Structure formats: C-alpha cells, structure tokens
Amino acid sequence: MRRCLLYNRALRSMLLLLPLLLLVGCDGTQSGGDLEPTGSVPAFVPTRSSSTATPEISLPELSLDADAVTVLPQPVRAGYPLTVTASIENQSAITAADVPVMVHISALQEEIGFTPFLEVLTITVPASQSLTVDVPVYWNLNGGKHRVWLQVNQLPEAWEAGEPLPPEDVIADNVAVLDLMVDPFDAYTSDLCSGRIDVEVGPADVLPEPDRQRVLVTVHNLGNRAVYNLPVVVLGRDATGIVYTPAIPPCGGTAQVAVPLDRPFGEGASLNVLVNPRDWEGGLVEDNFDNNHVAVTGGLQPGVAASEAGGLQDYDFFLTGADIEIPQQWMVLVKVHNRGTRDAAMVPIRVESERGRKIVDAIPLVRGDGLGIAAFPIGYLWTRGGVLTFTVNPQDATGALPETNREDNVATFTLP
C-alpha cells in the first residue's frame, strides 16, 4: 500500500513537469534558440534614443593683424592714389567663403562736402591659410588726419539682414584701426610736378582798376616748390607800384595781389607788369624768366591771343561719359585726363543737373600726360534717370587754369 502511494506521487510530478520539458531542450536552451540560459542575466541591448546627437561643425576662425596693415605710397598726399593692404588669416580647417571685408576712411575733422571712403568686397580664404587683400583708393582726401577702419566678416548692423555673415565664435580680432596723415597738396615742397622753379604771369592775369588806382595781378606757381615774398612790379608812364606775394602753393598754385599805384592812371594806359624780375637783388632764381613779364593796355588787349600768355599748352583737360561711374549711391567717381605736360593742382569741376542745380568742386591733382581721379557727393543733384553735365576747368570758375582747348571739357552722364 505504501509503495503504491509513492508511485502515484512520482507519476503526478512527472505529469506536471511534462509541459516544461516540451518547451525546454535537453541542453537547457529554448528550442528556438532565442531565450537566455536558465538562471543567467539577460545581455544589455542598446535602444535608439529619440534625439540623435549632432556632430560638432567647425567654424571659420578669421583674424586681422592690425600691425600688418599698410598704406602706400608714403607719404600720402592729397589727391594722390593710395592702396590699403591687409593680411587675413583663416586658422580653421575649413574654407571661409563669401567673407565681406569693409574699408572705411574718414577725416577726424570733416569739412563741408567731404565724403568718407567706403569699400566692401567679398573674399574667400582657404583653410589654414592667409590671404593678402589690396584695396585701391581713388578719393578726394583732403590734407590732415584721417582714420582707417578695416573689418573682416563684420558689417554694420543695418546691413547684416541683407548680407548674411559666415558664423564665427570670436570676432574681437577681426577689426583694425589706424591713423593716417594726409599731407596737404600745398606743402612747401612737392614732387608731384616737374622739378623746375617757375612763376608765370600772362595778359589774362592783369586787371587794371583805374577808379581804385590799383591793378589786380594773378601769379601762377608752376614749379615744384612753394614760393613767397616775390616782388610784383607795375610800371606805367607816370605811375608805379609794388607789392609782395604771399606763399603760393606749388604745381599750379596761384595768388592774386592788388598793386596800388602812386599816381592815377586812365583807361587805355599802357602798363608793364613784372613778377620776380630777373635782376632783382635777393630775388628767386628761376629756370625760366621768359614768362615773368607782360605788357597790357587797359587790361587784356583786343586781339591778343590767349596762347601768348605763355605756358597755356601745359594744360589740356578732357573727359568723356565713360570716365564717370557710380561707386555707391549718391556718389560719382570722375576721371579727368590731361594732354598737357604739366601736373595741375586743384582743377575745378562743375556738375549741373537738368533743373539748373549745380555743385562746384576740385580735383586735387591731374597729372601731366596722365589723369586725375576723385569722388564727389551729388545727392543734391540726384534724380532717377536724370542727366548731369560735367565741366572740367570751366573758364569762369574760381581758380580756373589757363587752357587753349576747351572743346572736350564737357561730358554728360545719365543717372540710373
């Protein structure tokens, strides 16, 4: 009886284990091979996160060495072209493309009519390399102290919306500021014109004023050195007078003096005008004394050709519509040519609109057998599609230079 009970219990246990034996193989693994061994810890299987990590992107690392910025040629002179040169380094391992470079030059004490120079260009700096940038400046810079600003990958905030900039972490080294001294053109010495020492007076430079008992005389300095205290002598039949000139700038500078006569003289009186006479004690030694004397009768004699004043062939200006362009809004850049052999200083130029508005300015330097370039603000004359008339060296302008051929001194330009 006891043996039978033990047999029944064993049989019942086997019946309970039978479903488990069907699921588990003989070696203790799941028949499908997908379950871990009995009693072992399940291996870790990584799961994909809902947010994927973004790989780090390197940015341009541009820098501008302020000590390496140069302005040449030196010394900088008013009216003379110059070039600003800067070296831009990219310390990043990627190329910096479409990087803006801005150059701005302004006077510390601006005068009426002065317009700062502004140039914005786009460059590409290869990875881990430097790039040298040259910016030519043809601008009407007056003499005095100026400040030069250079900015790389930086623009005024008002521009940045329309000019997206390449992202950059550090921009503190993207700016260079330096002072620039511009020598005035009327310095006491100048190498911008020929080396001769020469002053000149012609019939058109003599204006008798009998009612005021004096004679107005304009003296031209054609040499490359300023002159001063030159005697100007007027001799009449019964009257004489003498004065001395103030300082006259070189390379075409002029000075007008009023010579009072010791006795009255009438209309049509014969007058001889001498500037720095050849035999004057202590006078200036010149290379050419032939143009220091002129004889007039009551002013410029009828029938006296202007060319007889001497030296007029030295200036022959001209310009065309192709010599006028707009570097930026409200500004024009004008190239004036000179067929003559002598450099000319402060050549007057007049710009007039169809409505009769006009501005008068001057080009600081127009080289002999060359040209002069200057920029002028014309916002006062700006009308969309309007036509402007440019006249170089107008005969009626203050400071006009003597010139025999004025037929090609006028050009027109249509505004956009």
Those residues with Cβ within 8 angstroms of residue 350's Cβ, 6 or more apart along the chain or in another chain: 358, 359, 360, 390, 391, 394, 397
Which of 173, 146, 152, 174 lies closest to 82, judged by CA?
146
Considering the four listed CATH numbers 3.40.50.300, 3.40.50.11540, 2.60.40.10, 3.40.50.740, the one that applies to the domain covering 313-414 is 2.60.40.10
Which of 323, 335, 339, 305 lies closest to 407, judged by CA?
339
**Residue 322, both tokens:** 């192709």
Specify whether the backbone of 369 is left (phi greater than 0), alpha (psi in -120 to 50) or beta.
left
Which of 403, 411, 342, 335 lies closest to 374, judged by CA?
335
Q: In angstroms, rounded to a whole number, what is the distance separating the alpha carbons of residues 12 and 84?
A: 104
Report the predicted TM-score, pTM, of the whole model to 2 decimal places.
0.48
The pLDDT, as a whole number, for residue 157 is: 66
pLDDT 10s per residue in the chain (416 long)? 444 444 455 445 554 444 444 444 444 444 444 434 444 444 444 444 445 544 454 677 888 888 889 999 888 877 678 899 999 998 888 888 888 898 989 888 765 556 678 888 889 999 889 899 999 887 767 778 899 999 998 877 666 555 667 777 777 888 999 999 987 655 455 566 667 789 999 998 999 988 899 999 999 988 878 888 899 999 988 889 999 998 887 777 788 899 999 988 888 788 999 999 988 888 888 988 999 999 987 544 433 333 333 344 678 999 999 999 988 778 888 999 998 877 777 789 999 999 899 988 888 778 878 888 888 888 888 889 999 999 999 988 887 887 888 999 999 999 99
The CA–CA distances, whole Å, from 129 to 27, 90, 290 equal 68, 6, 62
The pLDDT, as a whole number, for residue 13 is: 52
- Nearest-5° Cα angle at 247, 278 to 227: 35
3-state secondary structure of 113: coil
DSSP label at residue 79: T
The pLDDT, as a whole number, for residue 400 is: 84
Give the residue ranges of DSSP H helices in 186-337.
Answer: none
**What are the φ/ψ torsions at residue 249 (nearest 5 degrees)?**
-60, 155
DSSP label at residue 280: -
Asked if residue 73 has a cis previous peptide bond (ω within 30° of 0), the answer is: yes
Which of 267, 274, 270, 265 lies closest to 242, judged by CA?
274
Q: How far is CA 221 from the centre of its chain?
A: 29
One DSSP character per residue, 365-394 reads: EE-TTEEEEEEEE-GGG--TT-EEEEEES-
3-state secondary structure of 150: strand
Where in the chain do CATH 2.60.40.10 domains reside? 62-183, 199-309, 313-414
**Residue 401, both tokens:** 């230079």
The pLDDT, as a whole number, for residue 164 is: 66
Sign of CA dihedral 361, 252, 309, 404: negative
Q: How far is CA 307 from the centre of its chain?
A: 37
Amino acid at 353: S
**What are the φ/ψ torsions at residue 296 (nearest 5 degrees)?**
-135, 160
- Nearest-5° Cα angle at 19, 16 to 22: 140
Q: In angstroms, rounded to a whole number, what is the distance separating the alpha carbons of residues 344 and 401?
A: 8
Amino acid at 246: P
The fourth-level CATH superfamily of domain 62-183 is Immunoglobulins (2.60.40.10)
3-state secondary structure of 8: helix
Q: In angstroms, rounded to a whole number, what is the distance separating the alpha carbons of residues 156 and 86?
A: 20
- Are residues 395 and 410 in contact, defined by beta-carbon separation less than 8 angstroms? no
The fourth-level CATH superfamily of domain 199-309 is Immunoglobulins (2.60.40.10)
Those residues with Cβ within 8 angstroms of residue 338's Cβ, 6 or more apart along the chain or in another chain: 315, 316, 317, 344, 366, 367, 368, 369, 370, 371, 372
